[in-house]
Structure 1
Amino acid sequence: MTPSQAGAPPPRARPGRTPSTSREQISHVALELFMQRGFDGTTVDDIARAAAIGRRTFFRYFSSKNDVPWGDFDSLLERMRAHLASLPDTMPLMEQLRRSVMEFNRVGKVESQYHRRRMELLLNVPTLVAHSTLRYRAWREVIADHVARRLNVPSADLIPQTIAWTCLGACLAAYEQWLADRQRSLPDLLDEALLMIDVRIDAEGMQTPRGTQV
């Protein structure tokens, strides 16, 4: 962000502009502002004005400014949970997780430009890094719950929690590589990182030989 950008007034909605009426539209407007003025330099009023909506409308879609970069994260989590549940139990556990995490991170061509901006904010803005703790916990719960069901153990047990944390770490490492090098493909990086997790756990919680199905 340049000094001139930091001092610039927030963009106003163009006269006659159709108000943003979806979570996605509002988040796109907000992301543009965040990149121009910085996250901390943008207010909810700035976002509402640029999106041609009122504050009340903004808060119908987002609980706070901190939630904006996450988009419709809760719906994505439910989709990942449903995707995991749809996979056959004959499939190895880690393959189930890899496929579902890949699907969770799949974005369309238009959305991909905004996705990069989201992750730059979420991984680098101190305010959002702290806020991310709750979101990452919810993400890990989806993974841990599925692992627990497959192994018939409580989701709070060590194995489900360890696998959930490991999957999250692999994804964050892939995202950092993607943000550092625009030539790299996010799906390829995620796939490579997740394939490194070569854990095979049997129903009694013991590690079994490589390639063994759970």
Structure 2
Amino acid sequence: MRNEEPTPGLRERTRRAVHREVAEVGMALFLERGFEETTIDQVAEAAGISRRSFFRYFATKEDVVLGDLADRGHRIRAALAVRPPGEQPWEAVRAALLALRDEGPVDTDAELRITRMLHGTPSLRARHLEKHLAWQEVLVPELARRLRGPDDPDGVAADHRAAAIIATALACLDVASETWLRLDGSVPLEQLWDEAVAAVRA
């Protein structure tokens, strides 16, 4: 049985609320004016906080856009951990990735605008790739645990297979996202990911 996480206290709930509000304000400004054209001072002023307070919540301007990406990786890992034990690795990874899209309604237009900004801004693109590497660090051990068998006591083979699958899955996600943008979201992202994976596995 997994231990339930303790309910956060008032201070932590307040911190999370402010963090979320600043992120929403910043994202609105970035989409309206452009990421590179919007300064940290402008985000802080619009959010009603000081520049110094901004850095209590975000280390960089890029983190306003990508700050929760690392947390998404942990949520994917948690979704992967509860997949049925006998499920094939690719099916388990697919289901874990889709779990993010099941967390709430999807605003395709907003996602398109954000993804265009992400792919069109070099600093955001670089940080996005960096965060995906962080995803690999948390996902590979979980998938390797599922792949380890009695003929692999030290887990080397499982680690190798898991690293290859996760790296390929994330590369296919990037390729699918690029195609999704070119098609203006007319084809579901998960369908494009399935097609990319099928091409690799053919």
Task: Give yes or no for TM over 0.5.
Answer: yes
Task: Indicate the RMSD between aligned Cα atoms, in angstroms.
Answer: 2.7
Q: Which amino acid aligns with 2:161?
A: I
Query: After the TM superposition, which residues 33-182 of structure 1 pair with which residues of structure 2 at under 5 Å, given as runs?
Result: 33-106=29-102, 108-109=104-105, 112-152=108-148, 153-154=155-156, 157-182=159-184
Aligned in 2, Cα 1:71/1:187: closer, same or farther, shift over 3 Å? farther
Unaligned 5+ segments in structure 1 are: 1-19, 200-214
Which residue pairs with 2:190 in the alignment? 187
1:62 Cα offset (Å): 1.7
Q: CA deviation at 1:149?
A: 1.2
Number of aligned residue pairs:
180
Structure 2: give runs of 5+ residues left out of the alignment: 1-15, 149-154
Q: C-alpha displacement at 1:96, in angstroms?
A: 0.5
Over 3 Å counting, the alpha-carbon distance change for 1:43 and 1:156 in structure 2 is: farther
Distance apart, 1:146 and its partner CA: 2.2
Letter in 2 for 1:165: A
Query: Paired residue for 1:10?
Result: none
Residues 145 and 155 in structure 1, CA contact (< 8 A), matched pair in contact too: no
Q: Specify whether residues 86 and 79 from structure 1 end up closer, same or farther in structure 2 by C-alpha distance, changes over 3 A only.
A: same
CA contact (8 A) 2:26 2:43 kept: yes
Q: Any idea what SS the aligned residue of 1:162 has?
A: helix
Partner secondary structure for residue 85 of structure 2:
coil
Q: Which amino acid aligns with 1:189?
A: L
Question: Cα offset for 1:65?
Answer: 0.4
CA distance in 2, matches of 1:105, 1:194: 18
- CA shift digits 1:171-195 (9 cap, x unpaired): 1111111111222222333344345
Q: Quick check: 1:155–1:161 contact (8 Å CA) kept in 2?
A: no
Identity of aligned pairs, percent?
34
CA contact (8 A) 1:28 1:114 kept: no
Give the structure-1-normalised TM-score.
0.71
Rounded to whole Å, the distance in 2 between the matches of 1:115 and 1:139 is 20
- Conserved 8 A contact 2:79-2:96: yes
Q: Secondary structure at the match of 1:109?
A: coil
Question: Bigger radius of gyration, 1 or 2?
Answer: 1
Change (3 A) 1:173 1:59: same
- After TM superposition, which residue ranges in structure 1, 4 or more long, deviate above 6 angstroms? none
More helix by share: 2
